Chains A and B, each alone.
Chain A
Amino acid sequence: MDIDRATVDHVARLARLELSEDERARMGTELGHILEHAAKIQALDLDGIEPTSHAIPIRNVMRADEVTPSLSQDEALACAPESEQGRFRVPRILEEEA
């Protein structure tokens, strides 16, 4: 059960992956194969079973709202591919106006 090409393209777009032609072709088959195995659990009767997202029962961990030392602006920017005027620099985000 291959995943069809339109679905692969859609998921790749959601995942922000610009896959090559080759990768797209392979991905449909490979994902299909893995999902067939995962389908084993589709047949299980899981009505009334609560989902688990986390194995330990810790909830709403709070701390005092106090200022503590953290990275300086320079340290935080030092790892960036590009920065300018104390900010991360990126290519344009919106379409340019006509």
Chain B
Amino acid sequence: MSEATGSASELHWRSATELADMLEAGEVSSVEIAEALIARVDAVDGDLHAFLRRTDERLLGDARASDERRAAGDARSPFDGVPTAHKDLFVTKGVPTTSGSRILEGWVPPYDGTLVARCAAAGLPLQGKLNMDEFAMGSSTENSGYGPSRNPWNTATVPGGSSGGSSALVAAGGTPWSWGTDTGGSVRQPASLCGLVGVKPTYGLVSRYGVVAFASSLDQPGPLTRTVEDAAAFLQIAGGHDPMDSTSIPRDVPNYLEGINGGVDGMRIGIVREFESAEGTQPGVRARVSEAYQRLEKLGADLIEVSLPSFEFGISAYYLVAPAECSSNLARYDAVRYGLRAEGVDVASMTSRTRDAGFGAEVKRRIMLGTYALSAGYYDAYYGKAQRVRTLTINDLKRVYADVDLIATPTSPSTAFEFGAKTADPLAMYLNDVFTVPVNLAGNAAISVPCGTSPDDGLPVGLQLIAKALDETTMFRAAYAFEQDFGWAGSPEGRPPL
């Protein structure tokens, strides 16, 4: 940490780790941090529309309580007093939670999800709830029932999605870190489009209890941050076994920060042959990602060409599996126990009318697609085949990981695109996920790290590093080595103009 320590005007650009150090050293109070972030959000959120709901009063109350704990020597964690804001599908007791949908407008959850509770237990003051594509279905926030968020690098472009409120806010210095969820790329892609670090942890590492469900076998919460260190620390806070989620892996998270600076010397990193020739990847993205591969090689990694033939079927399989699970999960919105209710003469018409009124176009499309893929006569041809392709993806990865420690790819084939560019063609929007969905199908861990801006449009590009299941330690080590050598994160160059 250098000069200007404690300077209120710069506090909002500090990483969570830096803020924790400053709190520990008594250089700043949690209330001062909260006030600086409120001022920053006041200044930028009119342009960004990252928030669906701000909880400023609660934030200041939480911050005061944190300062008192610290003064009494009772800090709950090193990060006690460092604020955060959650994607609006994390269930928060007493704070409305919409999952970006009109069907949940006004719902005030009666409980906290595990992740929310763990952040609170670590002493993190709550700034509010962030915008997203409805039920996390989308890559741009254009499917939000409450209007889109905008990218601070260029407000005419999308911030990515579905965790686009989170990516816009973290990139603009409105919060040091935020939790999103990643079902097919919904943390990594917005991180890539906003120049951030985004992690899709191993399936089962972070509890899904109190996370509004989309596709249960693929959904996984993940952090969006400005530094690799913060991502590791955030995963440390919220990860680990939870008896409330029967798909939670029954083990503790290791200390990711230990040995994070171990470097990549001798690490074997796979470059996917099929992706190098894949059409649809922008030249500027290709250029930056190739430079990133070379940087890893310069740092001592061995680049090894690998082949993942099943990956080209990932999108097809994903867009059958995810809608199938979504159609089943979203059956719960029946207008009986919570949420919107439209009038109907009987229960069936009440439910059907409510669902037509409350769900947006993309959610209806996916429910229809999933119901179709699961219906009698089509199940084997669509859902059954997709599940078998999922096995191929897992087998492909197993084979490749015999020879490599990590696989490197672009995160997204394009930089941030303009509003409306892909909304007319659902399939074009889906193809955005080509590099990210296979990871969800297989359950592995992956990270997106910024690797500069595209020479085509000056917008951020992300490098994806895919690890074996539960090998986040290797993933963080490589990402950290790259980030430190590249020197972009935290530098003025790595900040959006807004």
Contacts and interface: CB of A to CB of B under 8 A. Distances in A.
Contact of B390 (A20, A51, A88): A51
B406 interface: no
A11 B372 contact: yes
B217 A55 contact: yes
B394 A52 contact: yes
A54 B110 contact: no
Contacts of B339: 79, 81
Interface residues of B, number: 72
Interface string A9-49: 01110111111100100010011011101111110101001
Given A11-B368, A18-B355, A56-B247, A51 B337 contact: no
A39 to B, nearest CB: 8
A37 B316 contact: yes
Dominant SS among interface residues on chain B: helix
B356 A56 contact: no
A71 B182 CA distance: 29
Nearest to B333: A16
A33 B430 CA distance: 12
Given A34-B427, A41-B385, A46-B389, A56 B351 contact: no
Contacts of A1: none
A56 B442 CA distance: 9
B319 A17 contact: no
Contacts, number: 172
A20 B97 CA distance: 28
A59 to B, nearest CB: 10
Given A44-B385, A52-B387, A75-B110, A80 B368 contact: no
Interface residues of A, number: 52
A80 B356 contact: no
Dominant SS among interface residues on chain A: loop
B247 A54 contact: yes
Contacts of B331: 16
Q: Which of A17, A31, A63, A82 has the most CB of B within 10 A?
A: A17
B368 A81 contact: no
Contacts of A19: 356, 364
A39 B209 CA distance: 35
B351 A40 contact: no
25 contacts: A10-B375, A11-B368, A11-B371, A15-B367, A16-B355, A17-B352, A27-B364, A33-B426, A34-B319, A38-B319, A38-B382, A38-B386, A39-B316, A41-B389, A44-B385, A44-B388, A51-B387, A51-B391, A52-B441, A53-B217, A55-B203, A58-B246, A79-B107, A81-B341, A93-B346
Given A27-B365, A31-B368, 15 more contacts: A11-B368, A15-B355, A19-B356, A31-B365, A37-B319, A41-B389, A51-B388, A55-B394, A55-B442, A78-B108, A81-B335, A81-B336, A81-B341, A91-B347, A92-B346
